Amino acid sequence: MRFLITGGAGFIGSHLSDLLISQGHKVHVLDDLSTGSMANIRHLKGDPDFEYTIGSADNHTVIAELVDDADIVVHLAAAVGVSLVVDSPVRAIETNVHCTEVVLKHANKKKKPVLIASTSEVYGKSQALPFKEDGDMQMGATDKGRWAYACSKAIDEFLAMAYWRERRLPTVVVRLFNTVGPRQTGRYGMVVPRLVSQALASEPLTVYGTGRQTRCFCHVTDVVEALYALMSEESAYGNVYNVGATTEVSIIDLAQRVIELTGSKPDISLIPYSEAYGEGFEDMYRRVPDTTKVRGLIDWAPTRSLEDIIRDVVVHQQSVSRAADMVQEQRV
């Protein structure tokens, strides 16, 4: 099979590329490198089953050509990270909505199946835990920038489902819950790589708010296995699936585990949300998926623990740091 992955130079896309190629498929990655990185896919550049194009998913000409050559489209291209969404809401909305419009439009011409990556953010401020795919969404006010991202991804989902119902385009929507692992950057607010980076540098670990808010973290290797299985299952078309771990951990406890697993002894510094993201920022206190639906279809459940996740991120960041040091030494 030939797969087109938009946003494929991001950390999830690069791991999905690894899996698909290992299974004998061909992969073409499209990425504008706004949040992705060539470093994530450099190891694949010599593989005859791998190709890449540097460009945007909002380019009709490029998307039309790449979709024609693909059997399945995986649309991962999106604005990601709380920091990016808060700082650049226009970019987040336009990137998320317009790129999805373009991808679905051209996929529909040839009826190429599309998997759309969505997010747990679409549940908004709902307290109906654990979150079920058919549960109601509860968004915040429009003057709160945090909810622009959630709304834009919800529109993506509505578009995907509309193309399925009205035009019979095979679409699958996957709501991801805090996917973490090697190659993820803390640059845009992702908490695990940021805390690991601070611990390795013996800097205070910054935790926002009270630190009592909880999340469920899922290893990227588990996540891409779920994506691959869903793409291979025709009965998934026209459905939305939660994909993520179901074990909660508070952010302050997460920081403590990072300290323990890195062997560092930095302090934990609590930073008010207003200082981190500006006045009026709203957060979700808990975010827990109900994964009954995806488990029932593809018999999927995460196999890697939070400790596995942290250790893999630590090893990755240490290897990147050593490589950078070697480059610096060669220049000297």
Is 241 in contact with 120 (CB distance < 8 Å)?
Answer: no
Q: In 3D, which of 170, 173, 298, 162 has the Cα closest to residue 239?
A: 173
Q: DSSP class of residue 104?
A: H
Is the link from the previous residue into 130 a cis peptide, with omega within 30 of 0?
A: yes
From the candidates 149, 163, 208, 277, give the one annotated as an active-site residue: 149
State the amino acid at position 303 in one-letter form: T
Residue 127's H or E segment, with its range, is none
Which neighbouring-strand residues pair with 172? 115, 239
Torsion angles phi and psi, residue 263, rounded to 5: 70, 15
Burial class of residue 257 (count of CB atoms within 10 Å of its CB; 0-12, 13-18, 19+): middle
123 is known as an active-site residue:
no
Which neighbouring-strand residues pair with 207? 270
- Residues designated as active site: 149
